[in-house]
Amino acid sequence: MLSNLVAIAFALASALVIAWGTVVRQRIAENAQRSVMRTAMRSPLWWIGTASAVVAYGLQLIALGFGTLLIVQPILVLSLMLTLPLATWYQGRRMSSEELLWCGLLTVSVGVILVFGRPTGGITSPPLERWLPAFALGLAAMGLLSFIARRIRSQRALLLGVVCGILYGFVAVLSKAVVDIFKESGISELLVSWPLYVLILAAGAGTVLQQYSFHAGPLKHSLPAMKIIEPLIAFTLGYAVLKEQFMVDSILGWTVMILAVACMVIATIVLSQKPMSTLPRITQTTAPRDSRGQKSRG
């Protein structure tokens, strides 16, 4: 029980750092005129945002060391709820009651998944043959979606967001595998294990791909796909590869879990689009202008 609480605390900290870094990198990517990565790398703020992603990932690894993937991953979805107030602050507007409502629903749904689902751990060192089918399906899906994204530019942000979500789902599962290898066998065994190097490759590719998906269109198109697909892929791989499970064994129990996941998905879609919605902005009052557009002095 104590280890799960520690995992939840570090996962929440990771979600907060992810939220801030996401807003920073997205704003830079959206304003890029030509080369996305070249523009981003010239901005000191982008490097700070990238460093925050490294810090967030470190916190996530610590959380995975204390808890299961099925505990940590739902909490990371809350980074979207934390992204919203940061985005509204940058835009100079207030959160609406509707936004607060969806934030509450997202929090409740994640709480139900954790408390009612009671996730349990699985195998710590799955054999390679358990990974290969998952890698094959994942690469095929990402390759197909990337090809479609090049052909259908109007949906490019959405499709790249889906690809990024799939990739980050694999990163989450590989991260859990790497942490388990380190805990059981130490650093020497970890350095000669293939999951570590596949993880590094996938994480690097995900960082670049996320930047391109942000540049391809508004955040409301790419972010929902990332935030929805990542936990669903992680859940699936956690069951199929790591053999982690929810302690639910009744029709009523699974009905509650399905409703909670559905609520999480819907809230994610709604909240992902809120930062870009047109709401009253907080502006300073300016002096009235006359018919020639000059400020009056009266």
Amino acid at 16: L
Residue 278 has pLDDT above 50, yes or no: no
Residue 280 has pLDDT above 50, yes or no: no
Residue 296 lies inside a defined structural domain of this protein: no
Q: What is the pLDDT of residues 35-74, one digit of tens each?
A: 555 666 666 777 777 788 889 889 999 999 888 888 888 8
Q: Output the pLDDT for position 15.
A: 87
Q: Is 267 exposed, middle or buried (0-12, 13-18, 19+ CB in 10 A)?
A: buried
Please tell me the chain's helix, strand, coil percentages from 3-state DSSP, rounded to the nearest 5: 80, 5, 20
Residue 30 has pLDDT above 70, yes or no: no
Three-state secondary-structure class, residue 59: helix
Residue 281 has pLDDT above 60, yes or no: no
Q: What is the pLDDT of residues 191-219, one digit of tens each?
A: 989 999 999 999 889 888 887 887 777 66
Query: Under 8 Å CB-to-CB from 283, ≥6 apart: which residues?
Result: 92
Closest CA to 10 of 68, 56, 53, 70: 56
Q: Output the pLDDT for position 277.
A: 38
What's the whole-number average pLDDT of the chain?
79
Residue 295 lies inside a defined structural domain of this protein: no
Read off the pLDDT band of 174 (50, 70, 90): very high
Cα gap 238→228, rounded to integer Å: 16
Domain limits for position 207: 2-276
Query: Under 8 Å CB-to-CB from 161, ≥6 apart: which residues?
Result: 213, 221, 222, 223, 224, 225, 226, 229
Residue 294 lies inside a defined structural domain of this protein: no
Instruction: Give, in degrees to the nearest 5, the angle at Cα 249 between 6 and 165.
Output: 55
Residue 265 lies inside a defined structural domain of this protein: yes
**Residue 115 CA: distances (Å) to CA of 69, 70, 253, 256:** 14, 11, 12, 12
The pTM for the full model equals 0.74
- Write out the two tokens for 98: 């509707």
Q: What is the pLDDT of residues 114-154, one digit of tens each?
A: 888 888 877 878 888 899 999 999 999 999 999 998 888 87
- Structural element, H or E, at residue 119: strand 119-120
Residue 86 has pLDDT above 80, yes or no: no
Residue 101 has pLDDT above 90, yes or no: no
- Structural element, H or E, at residue 246: strand 245-246
Residue 67 lies inside a defined structural domain of this protein: yes
Our count of domains for the chain comes to: 1
Q: Output the pLDDT for position 288.
A: 44
Residue 296 has pLDDT above 50, yes or no: no
Longest CA–CA span in the chain (Å) reads 80
Other C-beta atoms within 10 Å of 258: how many? 11
Q: What are phi and psi of 120, to 5 degrees?
A: -120, 155
Residue 289 lies inside a defined structural domain of this protein: no
Residue 287 lies inside a defined structural domain of this protein: no
Residue 87 lies inside a defined structural domain of this protein: yes
